[in-house]
Structure 1
């Protein structure tokens, strides 16, 4: 056990760029790949992730100060600083019950696979912190280890099931076969997007709208090119931030670079995933009698899609504007502005690139992040202080678009901390209804549609 924990702690300390190649190599070996091919696949994914991380860090460095300057120019006082998902991950992994939570999530995934209640094999252990932070916060509020572990277990079950239900979008829209995305920061948007998309489809303006990013590029001509759109959006943000001419153009070129470089980095994921995906399908057919398993990966594999990036760059300045006028909001968007692509990726896939829907749903998701982030900022701040995280002197509270600011996480946190005897059963009943819909009613509808098309 000591050896296992030492290896686990080493991988966690090394971060996802080291953890991902190791995990993918091991998974490849399990699925029957030769060690050289499995290692090359894992290393390719690690390189792609490192490239994505560098670009996101680059984006944070450039967008962050501009966003902050835009807010400061308005004179509005927002006292909960968005410190970013990285800081929240640090708070999570510093928790005294983190080992219990990680093993509980892993065991739940294995049990669900054995019982055939999920097809997602989640190898994205680094992002377990999205599920674990809910348990950490519940434990901090209730002082109950049982409730803390229970909250993370419920988060895991919900996450794996939403991964299963959304997997056809990953394969159909993004063109990545055999992969699901159990990243809560991406999936949580679907909790709002699914019902809202259904509602928008019943409004003629949205139902008849077929306007996509590709259409925008066609009508805009020169200005519709991805790199030019990035340049224009960067210039606009710079002007609103009050930058001088040099800084405005620097920001414009930086945003242009983001739109060009991220797709190139994410193409490495496809290169590394294909051997693993093929081997996993052959292995599952042999071991599970034709059952198809999905490899659960970080949503970074899809954020390079041009529709995703462009939608995110439109949402970023609107997020800042919303923070200024949204009643009850106390969150100052900052560090997590660079990961807005994760919040809108599955929305874009759901609407199949319908730009009008993307913006409307994206703004509703953003409002939920601000409200939920505001509601849980005091708890998050207290936890950070309790584990020795040094907070900046300029912020009274901390928040993030991660942690329990995400609607899925917030609802679980609320159920386990506010009258759990009532909240937990209500949460489970709602989730059971969603399960019945996606694996019962919707499955029947899809089968009927296929039959009608065949006839």
Structure 2
């Protein structure tokens, strides 16, 4: 049995190792052909989307390279010495893909997605296979702890269904706030924050005075002139982060210039991405109108396509020192934020969209979102460390990440499936799922999101 599992896993590793830049144009071309597009037009769309995606990822990596040294220096300057180290999402991803049951979980997620599409339970066709690791880590951890494949499959299934539905419910924000139509983002590092953000946003909407505070780049620019421009704001925030890290003056300015460059160039790469997406979107709508009675269909992609939004970057740059401070003062926290500080953008992007660019409210809500990540990472560290060690990795002390079981959604599934009190926790997980549906799908709703979008456009 082990030989069979390892053989199947090897085949999948070869496909995954081909990389998104190789497989994405192929997948998009195949999707275009399924939608009855001309092969030349489908292939051009695939290449254009991939080029936009390459540009976005290059800029995301530029932001990481600018932020990471400053974040690491701040951790050292603040005197943090916690015993659970944030090793980054990349390490967690490699551990996930090294599992002997990974191939079964990939097929399970694909099957669930197809079944939900056929039954019209989702509109998300998730082609972002490289981020399946976010959905699989709960099942892999459950399998490692319990050695029970059934519970592992249940954990993965529940995670996949939650992710697809959260992506569906938040898709209007992608179109009306980020300006990318017919796309959903089933990336748990992006969707997970909605569990905390939706109820908090609902509460703030009902607090007199607080619900009127609205600070965004758009209204700041009215008062600050050139200094409110996204490029200048990026320069200021980047330099401020370098100064907090006590970096040399040349490094402070270099950090600022790199952040400013991301602020300027990211919208251009996003526009290229959307340009390639539009023919696929049109083909999908014609196909579904003909064969599925007009059922709406969206392509599920990596959340990297939205993290370059100026409000997202601004909120993330502010939240990095705030997260370090939280790690220091939160009672019971043992997780030292480090490697994943550079990807806080993914953790706050949906919060920013939900708050329609209100940076003040986004920061207010992101504080408990990041606190929950620190606590979940602390509690899951022994299990994650043992799992990583079993794959041959070695660490000095316990490890965590701001991904995997540290994310609220994954943590709920993981602790429910390994708990002896699952009979209590399963209803709790279902209640959380229904609460998010009620607050996002019903209480916010399309009409209100469109109103938010109109309000946002007026600020530009």
TM-score, normalised with respect to structure 1: 0.92
Matched, 1:352 2:353: no
Matched, 1:115 2:119: yes
Corresponding residue for residue 195 of structure 2? 191
Distance 1:7 1:354, change over 3 A: same
User: What is the 5 A alignment of 1:31-180?
Assistant: 31-180=35-184
What SS does structure 1 have at the residue aligned with 2:284? helix
Q: Shift of the alpha carbon at 1:107?
A: 0.5
Q: Shift of the alpha carbon at 1:285?
A: 0.6
Distance 1:23 1:8, change over 3 A: farther
CA separation in 2, counterparts of 1:6 and 1:373? 30
User: What is the 5 A alignment of 1:308-327?
Assistant: 308-327=312-331
Distance 1:435 1:211, change over 3 A: closer
> Conserved in 1, the CA contact under 8 Å of 2:116 and 2:122?
yes
CA separation in 1, counterparts of 2:31 and 2:8? 17
Q: Shift of the alpha carbon at 1:306?
A: 1.6
Corresponding residue for residue 20 of structure 1? 24
CA separation in 2, counterparts of 1:432 and 1:87? 32
User: What is the 5 A alignment of 1:210-221?
Assistant: 210-221=214-225
Could you tell me which runs of 5 or more consecutive residues in structure 2 were left unpaired when the two chains were aligned: 452-460
Corresponding residue for residue 402 of structure 2? 401
> Conserved in 1, the CA contact under 8 Å of 2:135 and 2:159?
yes
Distance 1:11 1:222, change over 3 A: same
TM-score, normalised with respect to structure 2: 0.91
CA separation in 2, counterparts of 1:312 and 1:127? 21
Corresponding residue for residue 412 of structure 1? 413
Q: Shift of the alpha carbon at 1:30?
A: 0.8
CA separation in 2, counterparts of 1:285 and 1:155? 30
- Match of residue 336, structure 1, among 336, 340, 347: 340
Q: Shift of the alpha carbon at 1:79?
A: 2.1
CA separation in 2, counterparts of 1:359 and 1:423? 30
Distance 1:317 1:281, change over 3 A: same
What SS does structure 2 have at the residue aligned with 1:81? strand
Corresponding residue for residue 433 of structure 2? 431
Corresponding residue for residue 452 of structure 1? none
CA separation in 1, counterparts of 2:145 and 2:255? 42
Q: Shift of the alpha carbon at 1:444?
A: 11
Could you tell me which runs of 5 or more consecutive residues in structure 1 were left unpaired when the two chains were aligned: 450-455
Matched, 1:385 2:385: no
What SS does structure 2 have at the residue aligned with 1:304? coil
What SS does structure 1 have at the residue aligned with 2:125? strand
Q: Shift of the alpha carbon at 1:58?
A: 2.4
Matched, 1:292 2:296: yes
CA separation in 2, counterparts of 1:335 and 1:52? 20
